[in-house]
């Protein structure tokens, strides 16, 4: 466990969180390198080393920085990017382009051109518009792109509706309508500039149940079957996306990776044996599962407002600018007062942020010891979609990110400054 309590103080990957708060100021994102290492080890043991011909790519949208690219590369994973900015970050970090995958439902011509010229390993084509655009770009650059088709498998998902992606009514993926998907497959097979490799699906996020993955798998295998029978062409890769759930609070009961992987691999192996095919290459794309529990956020408590018989609001020096998930998805988090981590919990408070927005509530009704100004609050499992979804609402600055490992701490993203926020502001001459 990277989380420990010693003398009533919270330690994270060997670091005293109170000292981190003092040294780097708050709000502060803290990322445990050992937790990432442990997760990647589980990926290798339960998937990459257990099953031959497999790949794992980290969905970088969950958390990306130059240092993170280095860790992911060292741990033997590939990287999934979904924008020119993520792609640029990976390339600047020296991440091998052939280990990159490019996802996204509206890749622009310039983003696709970037990907083609860098030689990105796989482009996950999301729609037929993109297929045409990519073919044109490859033709003009005289290059070939290796592609998977992202399909919309049309399965029911048990998670927040904003983070489901695999249901029929979705902006993501090619609908399984024969007038849409079949001509696309045919075109890709015939194209001189596109190498059609296989299919991709991603059903949703923060899942504790493998049934939607398995249902989507059936749909994908039927499509593989169809492609072989109709066109005599054998797709060789299947990317089953990410979405594996983590623990935010006591209500979450996350499963080991093998709970998702084993039945999926078993089904694909049976399919390939029955069809007399070489085993397909299987790819997973976890984001949250790798980084979510590796991150905590430290805040300093400021104003405390007790409304008699109604609610006690405890405000922190951050909020929906560094963690928009509670406001956007009613996401729940657990937290401790890092300097009173062993004290009995005697009150129930609501942790709110400092943004001018009533919905800027980080945790509703959490039990804590007696909270006072200047206490340090540590919110757990903020590694995924915290920093990556941070914003400058109210011109609050985006916090720094510190990497911790066995008691060592290193800054990997500097805190934004007020000057940083003004860097792109311009005042036309006539207004000066």
Task: Give yes or no for residue 127 binding ligand LLP (CB under 6 A).
Answer: no
Pick the closest to residue 282 from 243, 235, 231, 245 (CA basis).
235
Q: Distance between CA 110 and CA 372 in Å, rounded?
A: 52
Binding ligand LLP (rule: CB under 6 A), the pick from 16, 32, 103, 227 is 103
**Minimum CB separation from ligand LLP for residue 79, in Å?**
11
Q: Which is nearer to ligand LLP, 198 or 286 (CB)?
A: 286
Instruction: Point out the catalytic residue in the list 15, 40, 352, 356.
Output: 356
Contact 29, 402 (CB under 8 A): yes
* Residue 355 a catalytic site member: no
Contact 258, 46 (CB under 8 A): yes
Q: Distance between CA 65 and CA 388 in Å, rounded?
A: 9
Q: Which is nearer to ligand LLP, 286 or 399 (CB)?
A: 286
Q: Quick one: tokens of 187?
A: 């075109």
Binding mask 198-237 for ligand LLP (x = CB under 6 A): ----x--xx-------------------------------
Q: Which is nearer to ligand LLP, 283 or 377 (CB)?
A: 283
Q: Write 134-142 long-range contacts (CB < 8 A, 24+).
A: 134/194, 135/187, 135/191, 135/193, 135/194, 137/109, 137/112, 137/113, 138/193, 138/194, 139/192, 139/193, 141/113, 141/116, 141/117
End-to-end CA distance of the chain: 56
Binding ligand LLP (rule: CB under 6 A), the pick from 33, 135, 237, 285 is 285
Q: What is the DSSP secondary structure assignment for residue 428, as one 8-state letter? A: -
Q: Which is nearer to ligand LLP, 124 or 314 (CB)?
A: 124
Which single residue is written with the structure tokens 């009995």? 344
Segment lying near ligand LLP (by CB under 6 A), choices 240-248, 293-301, 306-314, 415-423: 240-248
Q: Which residues between 312 and 331 bind ligand LLP (CB under 6 A)? A: 325, 329
Segment lying near ligand LLP (by CB under 6 A), choices 15-23, 141-149, 230-238, 283-291: 283-291
3-state secondary structure 264-328: HHHHHHHHHHHCCCCCCEEEECCCHHHHHHHEEEEEEEEEEEEECCCEEEEEECCCCCCCCHHHH
Q: Which is nearer to ligand LLP, 231 or 393 (CB)?
A: 393
Binding mask 133-172 for ligand LLP (x = CB under 6 A): ------------------------------x-x-------
Q: Distance between CA 313 and CA 364 in Å, rounded?
A: 9
Task: Give yes or no for residue 260 binding ligand LLP (CB under 6 A).
Answer: no
Distance of CA 309 to the CA centre of its chain: 40
Question: How far, in Å, are 218, 301, 359, 421 from residue 356 at the CA level?
Answer: 47, 17, 9, 18
Contact 205, 242 (CB under 8 A): yes
Query: What is the chain's alpha carbon radius of gyration, rounded to the nearest angstrom?
Result: 23
Distance of CA 388 to the CA centre of its chain: 9
**Minimum CB separation from ligand LLP for residue 387, in Å?**
11
Q: Which is nearer to ligand LLP, 24 or 199 (CB)?
A: 199
The 3-state DSSP class for residue 141 equals helix
Segment lying near ligand LLP (by CB under 6 A), choices 35-43, 260-268, 286-294, 411-419: 286-294
**Minimum CB separation from ligand LLP for residue 432, in Å?**
40
Task: Give yes or no for residue 122 binding ligand LLP (CB under 6 A).
Answer: no
Contacts of residue 229, Cβ cutoff 8 Å, sequence gap at least 6: none
Q: Which is nearer to ligand LLP, 24 or 29 (CB)?
A: 29
Binding mask 39-78 for ligand LLP (x = CB under 6 A): --------------------x--x----------------
Task: Give yes or no for residue 333 binding ligand LLP (CB under 6 A).
Answer: no
Segment lying near ligand LLP (by CB under 6 A), choices 282-290, 304-312, 343-351, 373-381: 282-290
Contact 375, 337 (CB under 8 A): yes
Binding ligand LLP (rule: CB under 6 A), the pick from 27, 243, 318, 369 is 243
Binding ligand LLP (rule: CB under 6 A), the pick from 78, 153, 287, 319 is 287
Q: Quick one: tokens of 87?
A: 């792609």
Hey, which residues are catalytic here? 356
Q: Which residues bind ligand LLP (CB under 6 A)?
A: 59, 62, 80, 103, 163, 165, 202, 205-206, 241-244, 285-289, 325, 329, 384-385
């Amino acid at each position: 466990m990277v989380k420990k309590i010693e003398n009533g103080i919270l330690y994270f990957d060997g670091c005293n969180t109170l000292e981190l708060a003092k040294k780097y100021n708050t709000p502060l994102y803290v990322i445990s390198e050992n937790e990432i290492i442990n997760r990647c080890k589980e990926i290798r043991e339960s998937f990459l080393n257990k099953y031959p011909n497999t790949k794992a790519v980290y969905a970088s949208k969950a958390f990306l920085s130059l240092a993170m690219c280095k860790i992911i590369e060292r741990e033997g994973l590939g990287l999934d990017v979904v924008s020119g900015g993520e792609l640029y970050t990976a390339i600047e970090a020296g991440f091998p382009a052939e280990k990159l995958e490019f996802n996204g439902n509206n890749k622009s011509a310039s983003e696709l051109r970037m990907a083609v010229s860098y030689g990105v390993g796989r482009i996950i084509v999301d729609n037929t518009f993109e297929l045409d655009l990519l073919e044109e770009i490859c033709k003009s650059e005289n290059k070939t792109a290796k592609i998977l088709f992202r399909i919309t498998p049309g399965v029911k998902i048990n998670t927040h509706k904003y983070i489901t992606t695999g249901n029929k009514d979705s902006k993501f993926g090619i609908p399984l309508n024969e007038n849409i998907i079949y001509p696309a497959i045919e075109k890709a097979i015939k194209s001189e500039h596109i190498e059609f490799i296989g299919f991709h699906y991603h059903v949703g996020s923060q899942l504790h149940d493998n049934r939607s993955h398995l249902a989507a798998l059936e749909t994908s295998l039927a499509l593989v079957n169809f492609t072989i029978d109709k066109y005599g062409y054998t797709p060789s890769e299947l990317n089953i996306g990410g979405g594996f759930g983590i623990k935010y609070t006591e209500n979450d009961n996350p499963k080991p990776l093998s709970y998702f992987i084993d039945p999926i691999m078993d089904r694909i192996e049976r399919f390939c044996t029955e069809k007399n095919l070489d085993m397909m290459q299987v790819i997973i794309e976890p984001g949250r599962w790798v980084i979510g529990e590796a991150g905590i956020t430290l805040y300093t408590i400021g104003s405390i407002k007790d409304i008699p018989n109604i609610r006690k609001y405890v405000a922190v020096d951050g909020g929906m600018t560094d963690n928009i998930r509670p406001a956007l998805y009613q996401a729940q988090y657990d937290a401790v007062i890092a300097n009173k981590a062993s004290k009995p919990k005697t009150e129930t408070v609501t942790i709110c942020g400092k943004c001018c927005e009533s919905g800027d509530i980080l945790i509703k009704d959490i039990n804590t010891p007696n909270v006072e100004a200047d206490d340090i609050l540590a919110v757990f499992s903020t590694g995924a979609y915290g920093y990556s979804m941070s914003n400058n609402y109210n011109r609050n600055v985006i916090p720094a990110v510190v990497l911790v490992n066995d008691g060592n701490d290193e800054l990997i993203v500097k805190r934004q400054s007020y000057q940083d926020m003004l860097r792109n502001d311009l005042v036309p001459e006539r207004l000066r």
